[in-house]
Each structure stands twice: as structure tokens, then as C-alpha cells.
Amino acid sequence: MNRNFNNRALTVSQKIYERLLRAYPPAHRAEYGPAMAQLFRDQCRDAWDESRGWGVMKLWLRVLPDLVKTSIIERLAALTQRKSMSDKITNLIQPRAIFFRVFAAVFLITVLVSVAITYILPESYASTARIKVENDKLDAGYDPYFIQTQFEIMQSQVVLEPVIDKLNLNVQWGKKYLNGETLKSAESLQILKGRISLVPVRNTKLVAITVYSDDPKEAASLANTIAAAYQDYRIQHNKQITPKGIEVLRQQFLDESNEIRQVKSEADLLRQQFKIGSEVSVNPSSEEKLYWDKKHILDQMTEGHELFAGKIKELKLDAQIPRPAMVTITDTAEPGRAPVKPNKTVNIVLGVIGGIFLAAVAGGTAAFIALHFRKKTSKAAATV
Amino acid sequence: MTLTKNPPPAIISITDTSVKMAKSKTDPESLLPLTPAVFHVLLALAGGERHGYAIMQEVADHTDGQIKMGPGTLYGTVKRLLEAQLIEESDERPDPHLDDDRRRYYRLTGVGEQVVSAEAQRYADIVKLARGKKLIRKPA
């Protein structure tokens, strides 16, 4: 049995037969391929012993039809097996059942995630201080940008830095957020800005300053300190800006006085030189006309200058009047009793609504895919 | 199946037989009649366990060389007989000096023996009937 056949015809025949075994389905080939090749080798040897090349040829004439026929049978058998499997799969794929399964799974997951997130999120308390904001100028008309400008000022460095310093937030928040390391003012400022909410009270001059914090006392303290800091800023700003403005106006007044003096001396010189009287003559000379023009300009300048002096006087008096009423704190902030964030009821309701929506989309998609797959498998089965 | 003189059985009959075999393992009568290929393989294995080449040789000897099974027919039949549990693969291997230990040996199961006996009896009844009608003579 283990004799070595060196005959080229036998070797080639065996190799060809091994190649032809590919006509069988892979599973059949894997199970019986080696045994079939071995049987063919044995038959080849017998055929060669019997009548050499002619014997091998006769063997091929028997084996080839056998191979064609049995490979078709095995292929058909494999297809039948595959069809029964696809039928089983098709029965498993029920689009309606898949829709409900996916819907239930996605809905449950979404609701559970929303509930988990709601309870994992840190609680946040809110405290609100309310202030009445007036314009600096008593006689100022409606300024559409005034409130918006004041909002920006309330959130600016000039107001918030004093708050940070007063409440020692760099150290306090450093302990809380940076393992005891002191925060930089810019970092504290950034945190503080993120916690402030400014809302104007409709049809009033009131502004609600709301501050959020995980500590209710801290939230109230921050809101009150911001309100006070803004009030201080407005008072200080007004105190600084009014004297500076008066000084500028005074300088302008002096310049104007010098100019008037200059014009007056020129007019006096003309009057003396051409001996011009206090009344305008019937036929004035060109010099006389020049004098009267200058006199007219001088009178106008003097009139305006006197008004200017009156305004400066008024401003000086205005600056001396104390004005704490520019910013009035109408309501001080109190520590909140219950956290405002996360709103558990809203979050869970949103989770349920979102869950229904997501589940419907996911279930619909899954059912559509199942339907498509079912049609495809049915078509494939029909083809088989 | 490769037959030298007898016409080959229809392709579908082999597949149908295997299905029928798988469905009714306990009732040998329900599997009859067997296809010639199945009957000859079972008959060859009735003499003891054999490998594929030995089965093929024995079938050729039994039929005076009239039936020479090709590898495709032989192993297709073996596959279906295994599925129907009429035969089983033997774990025992001969001495490697005496035979190639890579060969796969097969033997009849209890059901296989009953089936091949029932088929042989069926053939005997047919022979008896033919003799009664003087279509064939008694052997000398």
C-alpha cells in the first residue's frame, strides 16, 4: 500500500483528481476529500497494474462521470440544508416582535440612563439678589444700551475682582477644586462668571442677579456681594468721572475766556484808532464795518461763554449731591432650601419622552432591517 | 455511482433514501428497498469492518467486476449511511505495519445489520418467486 509510484501519468492523474475535488461542497470535501483522493490513488495503482496507461484512461472514463454526478448531488444536498437553515432564520425574524423588543430595550436604557444621570449630577442651589439700576445722568433720556452695558459691567473684572478678594475665593475654591492650591484670580473669575445669571425684571428697572453653587450659603453670599460690589463701583465711578469732566470743562472755559479777551482788545483798538462811536453811523466806512463785525462776534462769544460758566457751576453743584440711589439693592439673596439643579422631575419626564422617541426610531429601524432581511432570505430560499 | 453494466440509479433516489433513512431509524422495513450502491456497501460491511478501498474491492468481487464504485459514489453513500446511523466509523486501527493507519474504517450498526438482512430477505423472496415461475434455475 505504501509503495511509491514514480510514474508521471499516475502522479499527474492524482493531482488532477485532487483539484477536481473542488467541485464538491467545502464541508463534504473537508470530511471525505482525503479519503476520496486516497481511494483514487489505489484505483490508479490497480488500473496501472492491470493495463498501464490504457487502464488509467479507462479509470478516468469511469471516475469523471461519477465525479460530475456525485458533486451535483452533494451540492444539491448542501443547498437543501442551507434552505432549511434559512427557513429557520426567517421564522426567527419577526419584524413586529423585533420592533417591540428593540423598543422596550431602548426605552428602558434611555430612562435608566436619564434617572442615573439625574442622581449622579451634583446638586446646585440658586440664590437671587435684586437691584434697581438708574442712569447716572438725572436728565438723561432713554438709552437702549444702558441695561445691556450695565449687565456687562456686572460680569466684568472691575466688579467681580473685588468680590473674589472680599470672599477670598482664590483660597476657598482652591481648597474645593484644586486640592488646596490657591487659584489665580483669572481662574476664579472664570468660575464665577460661569455661575452668574442676570435677568432684567420686565417693565421695571430691576435686575435679578442669580448665582448657582453647590453650597446654598455660598450662592447667597456671592449674589449679595456682587450686588454690593456693583453698587460700590457705580458710586466710585461717578465720584471719579464728575471732577475729571468738570476739570476738562474748566480748562475749555479758560481757553474761551482768553479768546474773548483777545477779540475784545482787537475791537477796542479799532474803535480808538478810527474814533468809532457807540452808535452805527449812516454811511459807515470799511474800518467802521470791520469794527462792528468784530463787536458782533464778541457779543456772541460772550453770551455763549456766560452759558458755559452757568453749566460748569451747575455740574459742580450736581457733583456735590450724594447719589446712592443710582443702584439700590431691593432684595438680598437668601440661601436656597432645595437644589434647583438637577430638576429630577423634569429630567425624568424628559428621559421618558426622549426614550419613547429614541425607542420608536430604533425599533422602527430594526423592524425595517428585519423586514428587508426576511425578504432577502425568502428570495434566496426561493432561488435555492 | 459508477456502474460498468447496470444502469446507474437516479440521482434523486440516493438523496431520498438518505432522508428516509434518517426519519425512520427504528423500522428497517420502512427503509426498503435500498439502492444497489447502499445494499452493496452494507453487504460488504456485513463481513466485518472495512475501509473505503476494501469496500470498493469487495463490491467489485461480489459482482464479478460488474460494479466498480467511484470515490464520489462510495463516499457519498458512506456519508448518508453514517447520517442514517446504519454504519459507524470504527475507532480501532490495524497495526501500522500491516495497513495505512490514516485509512478510515467503517462497520455496521445494529440497525444496519437489520436493514441489510431485511433487504437480503427481500431479494431472496424475489428469487424464490422467479424460481416458482421458472425464470431462473436452482444452483447445482
Secondary structure class of A38 (helix, strand, coil): helix
Q: Do B52 and A74 touch (CB under 8 A)?
A: no
CA distance B54 to A189: 95
| Residue among B14, B79, B100 whose CB faces A32 most closely | B79
ipTM score of the complex? 0.77
Which residues does chain A have within 8 Å of residue B56's beta carbon, measured at their own beta carbons? 39, 43
Q: What pLDDT, on the 0 to 100 scale, is given for residue B13?
A: 39
Which residues does chain B have within 8 Å of residue A71's beta carbon, measured at their own beta carbons? 72
Report the share of chain B in percent with pLDDT over 70. 73
Shortest distance, CA A34 to any CA of chain B (angstroms): 9
Whether pLDDT at A324 is above 70: no
Instruction: Note whether B51 and B103 are within 8 A (CB).
Output: yes
* A178 or B82: which leads in pLDDT: B82
Q: What pLDDT, on the 0 to 100 scale, is given for residue A83?
A: 65
Of A4-8, A281-285, B19-23, B59-63, least confident by mean pLDDT is B19-23
CA atoms within 13 A of residue A187's CA, in its CB half-sphere: 12
Instruction: Note whether A185 and A217 are within 8 A (CB).
Output: no
| Residue among B53, B56, B100 whose CB faces A2 most closely | B100
Angstrom CA distances, B53 to A46, A160, B100, B114, stand at: 11, 99, 11, 24
Q: What pLDDT, on the 0 to 100 scale, is given for residue A282?
A: 72
Shortest distance, CA B33 to any CA of chain A (angstroms): 20
Secondary structure class of A126 (helix, strand, coil): strand
Which residues does chain A have within 8 Å of residue B74's beta carbon, measured at their own beta carbons? 36, 39
pLDDT band, residue A325 (cuts 50/70/90): low
What average pLDDT is seen over chain A? Answer: 85
Angstrom CA distances, B86 to B21, B46, B52, B122, stand at: 8, 11, 16, 18
Q: Do B102 and A1 touch (CB under 8 A)?
A: no
pLDDT band, residue A236 (cuts 50/70/90): confident
Cis amide prior to A342 (ω within 30 degrees): yes
Q: Which residue of B has its CA nearest to A64?
A: B70
Q: Do B72 and A1 touch (CB under 8 A)?
A: no
Shortest distance, CA B83 to any CA of chain A (angstroms): 13
Mean pLDDT to the nearest integer, A2-11: 63
Q: Do A35 and B75 touch (CB under 8 A)?
A: yes
Q: Which of A197-206, A308-317, B27-36 has the highest mean pLDDT?
A: A197-206
What average pLDDT is seen over chain B? Answer: 79
Q: What pLDDT, on the 0 to 100 scale, is given for residue B22?
A: 47
* A272 or A354: which leads in pLDDT: A354
Mean pLDDT to the nearest integer, B106-119: 92
* B98 or A321: which leads in pLDDT: A321
Of A38-42, A122-126, B10-14, least confident by mean pLDDT is B10-14
Interhelix angle B71-83/B52-62, rounded to 10 degrees, is: 110
CA B64 from centre of chain: 16
Mean pLDDT to the nearest integer, A105-127: 89
Angstrom CA distances, A347 to A339, A340, B18, stand at: 14, 12, 64
| Residue among B68, B71, B102 whose CB faces A36 most closely | B71
pLDDT in tens, A42-62: 988 888 888 887 888 888 888
Q: Which residue of A has its CA nearest to B18?
A: A77
Whether pLDDT at B103 is above 60: yes
Q: What pLDDT, on the 0 to 100 scale, is given for residue A382?
A: 52
Angstrom CA distances, A95 to A104, A236, A314, A356, A380, stand at: 14, 74, 87, 18, 18
Q: What pLDDT, on the 0 to 100 scale, is given for residue A189?
A: 92
Q: What pLDDT, on the 0 to 100 scale, is given for residue A52?
A: 80
Q: What pLDDT, on the 0 to 100 scale, is given for residue A97?
A: 83
Mean pLDDT to the nearest integer, A200-209: 90
Q: Which residue of B has its CA nearest to A69?
A: B11
Q: What pLDDT, on the 0 to 100 scale, is given for residue B7?
A: 40
CA distance A205 to B132: 128
A170 Cβ contact partners less than 8 Å away, ≥ 6 residues apart = A164, A182, A183, A184, A185, A187, A188
CA distance B108 to B42: 7
pLDDT band, residue A322 (cuts 50/70/90): low
- The B-side interface with A (CB below 8 A) comprises 1-2, 4, 8, 11, 14-15, 52-53, 56, 68, 70-76, 78-79, 99-100, 102-104
Of A301-315, B5-19, B72-86, B101-115, least confident by mean pLDDT is B5-19
Whether pLDDT at A1 is above 90: no
Shortest distance, CA A40 to any CA of chain B (angstroms): 6
Whether pLDDT at A365 is above 80: yes
CA distance B63 to B66: 5
Dihedral sign, Cα of residue B124, residue B126, residue B132, residue B138: negative
Instruction: Note whether B45 and B106 are within 8 A (CB).
Output: yes
Can you say whether residue B48 is alpha, beta or left, with left for phi > 0 and alpha for psi between -120 and 50 degrees?
left
Q: Do B53 and A72 touch (CB under 8 A)?
A: no
Shortest distance, CA A110 to any CA of chain B (angstroms): 50
Q: Do B15 and A73 touch (CB under 8 A)?
A: yes
CA distance A92 to A310: 98
Whether pLDDT at B1 is above 80: no
Nearest 5°: phi and psi at A329? Answer: -85, 110
Q: What pLDDT, on the 0 to 100 scale, is given for residue A250?
A: 87
Shortest distance, CA A101 to any CA of chain B (angstroms): 37
One-letter amino acid at A330 equals T
Mean pLDDT to the nearest integer, A361-383: 75
Which residues does chain B have within 8 Å of residue A50's beta carbon, measured at their own beta carbons? none
Q: Do B103 and A70 touch (CB under 8 A)?
A: no
Tally of helices (H runs) and strands (E runs) in chain B? 5, 3
Which residues does chain A have within 8 Å of residue B75's beta carbon, measured at their own beta carbons? 32, 35-36, 39
Pairing of strands A327-331, A125-133: antiparallel
pLDDT band, residue B20 (cuts 50/70/90): very low
Q: Do A63 and B56 touch (CB under 8 A)?
A: no
Q: Which residues pair with A213 in a beta bridge?
A: A125
Shortest distance, CA A116 to any CA of chain B (angstroms): 55
Instruction: Note whether B87 and B107 are within 8 A (CB).
Output: yes
pLDDT band, residue A208 (cuts 50/70/90): very high
Nearest 5°: phi and psi at B93? Answer: -125, 140
